[in-house]
Amino acid sequence: MFSLADQLLVLVLLINFISLGTSRLIFSIRAVAVQGVILGILPGLMHPFSWHLVGITIVIIAVKGFVIPMLLSRAVRSAEIKREFEPFLGYVPTLLLGAIFAALSFGFAGKLPMLPEHQYYMFVPASIATLMTGFLVLTTRRKAISQVIGYLVMENGIFIFGLLLADAMPIMVEAGALLDLLVGTFVMGIVMNQISREFSSLDTSLLTSLKEE
């Protein structure tokens, strides 16, 4: 019988397919925001109650579920783009690859030597599948905002795996990871703003036409 944590991880996997199958950028951002909220809840299901844990949960939900999606939504409105019309790889092939990677993730995770208390959790396969989903979004989309979304999904996959190491991971490590993520998003926002201002487009494939004078 699935635990509540496993049920939430199944929801994370379903959100992965939403990210792969939708062309609407705002919808993708909202999906990643929901995924961030779910990841913020997971630590509270794995560890006994403490105010320290409550503080970390609030920070994770705030950053992953609200702050970063809000910044991306603002970037979408500023750039006046709504959809990813011409990805490098179509949505149906991307979804098929995502399903294949998800299946392979479960097969690979089943062969890994894990602690007895972790053997029946879905953290490892969900982590690998989410990481590969982010990689697919990052490499198959043209728009810079879509690529940022792929980067966020990849970070979510790393975060899921890190939950298994939470007992041995100092809190400053996770705080540093969230700070890196936030700073990375700010940097990508600046890059997207400059691309949009100079080329009136956020299609990163157009950058290949740049030539040195």
Please say whether the beta carbons of 13 and 99 come within 8 A: no
Tell me which H or E stretch contains 81.
Answer: none
Cα 195 to Cα 191: distance, rounded to the nearest angstrom: 6
Name residue, tokens 């004078």.
Answer: 213
- DSSP class of residue 204 equals G
Query: Cα angle vertex 205, ends 200, 207, to 5°?
Result: 65
- Are the C-beta atoms of residues 149 and 112 closer than 8 Å to each other? no
Distance in angstroms (rounded) separating the CA atoms of residues 63 and 152:
11
pLDDT at 69 (0 to 100): 86
What pTM was computed for the model?
A: 0.80
Q: How far is CA 111 from CA 2, 127, 129, 156, 170, in A?
A: 20, 15, 15, 23, 28
pLDDT by position in tens, the chain (length 213): 457 888 899 999 999 999 998 888 889 999 999 998 998 888 888 777 778 778 878 888 888 888 888 888 887 887 777 787 778 888 899 999 999 999 999 888 777 766 655 555 788 899 999 999 999 998 888 887 888 888 889 888 888 887 776 655 545 445 555 655 665 666 566 556 655 554 455 555 555 554 444
Rounded distance between C-alpha atoms, residue 31 and residue 162, angstroms? 21
Amino acid identity of residue 76, one-letter, is V
Q: Which of 206, 213, 204 is nearest to 140 (CA)?
A: 204
Q: 107-156, pLDDT tens digit by residue?
A: 887 777 666 555 557 888 999 999 999 999 988 888 878 888 888 898 88
